[in-house]
Amino acid sequence: MTGLCTYSNGPTAAFDAVEHIRKHLGDVEFTNNTDKFRKYRQHTTFILACAHVGVYGYPVKAWYELIFGQDTWKDMQVGVFR
């Protein structure tokens, strides 16, 4: 997706992010990719699939929650090794 976007902290932030993805991909590609991405429940795989179509950052979380339900995204602890 081109350009930087700041998504509001309000209740429509996720909606705005998903609409940005839809505009970026177009309706047909958005629908096709949404169907394909249903098999990627693991966060890292989902993030890579999104990157493949040019989606990064907060919109990834919003798209994940659109597919799998609100509050299904669990923030990962990156860089923590024991």
> Is residue 46 within 8 Å of 60, Cβ to Cβ?
yes
Sign, CA dihedral 81-60-7-72, equals negative
Block residue for tokens 């629908």: 31
CA distance 26 to 19: 10
The residue type at 61: K
The pLDDT value given to residue 4: 66
Block residue for tokens 């509001």: 8
The pLDDT value given to residue 19: 95
The pLDDT value given to residue 15: 93
Instruction: Walk along the chain (82 residues) and give the pLDDT tens digit of each residue.
Output: 655 677 776 678 999 999 999 999 999 999 999 999 999 999 999 999 999 999 999 999 999 999 999 889 987 654 443 4
What burial letters (b/e) apply to 30-69, b meaning 16+ CB within 10 Å?
Answer: beebbeebeebeeeeebbebbeebebeebbbbbbbbbeee
